[in-house]
Structure 1
Amino acid sequence: VERLDLKRTIEQEVQSVDPLLSVTTVRSICGGMMFPGDLALKPISVLSGGEKSRVLLGKLLASPCNLLLLDEPTNHLDIYSSEAFMDAVRAFDGTVLLVTHDEQLLREVVTRLIIFDRNQVHFYDGTYDEFLERIGWNDEGGASGPSRTSENKKEQRKEKAKRSNALKQFVKDEQKQVTSLEKSISSLEEEIARQQADLLEGTKTGYSDDMAKLSRELSKNNEKRDQLYHDLERAMELLETKQQQFENQNS
């Protein structure tokens, strides 16, 4: 991420890879990296580490190439960046050769495997789940036939995948809740600003029943805003905790 130009916007940084790309194509890539619409106009300098990682992924997609070589690409990515990366890989028209220990990534995007297991190298033409089901790792019984221990390990992998998927869905749902609360707060603050302006204007003409009503509404909106901020703080704390759990589980 240190190679990103902090003076550029997200759109400009992605466009810099290939000046011949149309604005529509660049915006589509930005949207795929979770920067839809005017979010693509945000300057690089204000982005978080995870957001900068998504910009780099967008630049990879914009590159005029048909082969990507990636070494542990999801390391240090947050859940949203990982999701964006997997979407990007699925959308890439060329070939992607990647090295990874990330089982979630293996399950989501990989269609062929080169497996390094106990000083041996194998090629498997199929998905990771198919490999686990039909062959498996040597320490889980392998092709010689599953033992009770190997079956238990396979079941443990399946359970881990289920827990990971459930946790990922929870994080995504919680992010939607955070976004919804932020929008509600923004809308309410605009309403409060209008009411304050109306009250200020009303003081110039004298106190009235309408002014008293407006004052009560303003007071209620201030209380509602305080509650929304409280809810947002709790939601963000929960989101951060669950996101960390997801990242630890898949590290």
Structure 2
Amino acid sequence: MSYIDQSTRPSPAGMAAVIGVHAAIGAILVAGLTVTGTIPAIITSTEATNIPIEPPPPTPPEAIDPQPAPKDTTVIHAPKPPRDLTVRDTYIETTPVIVPTVPTVPGTGLELPRPDPRPSFDPVGAKPRNDPGAWLSTGDYRPSWIRREMTGLARFRLDIAATGRVTDCVVTGSTGHAPLDAATCKLVSQRARFEPARGNNGEAVPGSYNGAVLWQLPE
């Protein structure tokens, strides 16, 4: 078995390449640090402009309440009158005053004249002087009323004069048949006789009378 003993030496070409790389890096660094352009001049002097500031408005003075003028405190002293302790008798005149009497004039006294006594009567209404049952009868029925069987109760009011005479008649309740109502007022006004009504003094006055008549068919 044989061994080959060789010694290692740097290659000239490799060294040249390394040197070239380092030279390029150095050139780049030098180029980057080179300052180009003009450096501005340094200003050493300073200039300032004063701008005027308006002063603040003056503060208004505080309102002060006016003090009232001092009142006049002058004290007035009045002299006291001397006391009179002397007791004096007081005299009062007691002469009576006489008032002359005035004669009383008739009719001017306080007593009022008394009214003459007059009789007083209670008012009285008109009263029939004859029998109210005789004011109508079955003979007053007409044959036509009987055939039609006309019946009913007729109520009426009579006006009586101060002489006792009937002056008016009004039917206040109808029988339901106009012929019977008309016959009632006609016959009663002709046959009725009255005592006139009386007032408070007993005098004859006009009055009224209310009555009723029953119309029945004759048997």
TM-score tier after normalising by the smaller chain length: under 0.3
Q: TM-score, normalised by structure 1?
A: 0.16
Which of the pair has the greater relative contact order for Cα pairs under 8 Å at 6+ separation?
A: 2
Q: TM-score, normalised by structure 2?
A: 0.18
In terms of fraction of residues, the more strand-rich structure is 2
In terms of fraction of residues, the more helix-rich structure is 1
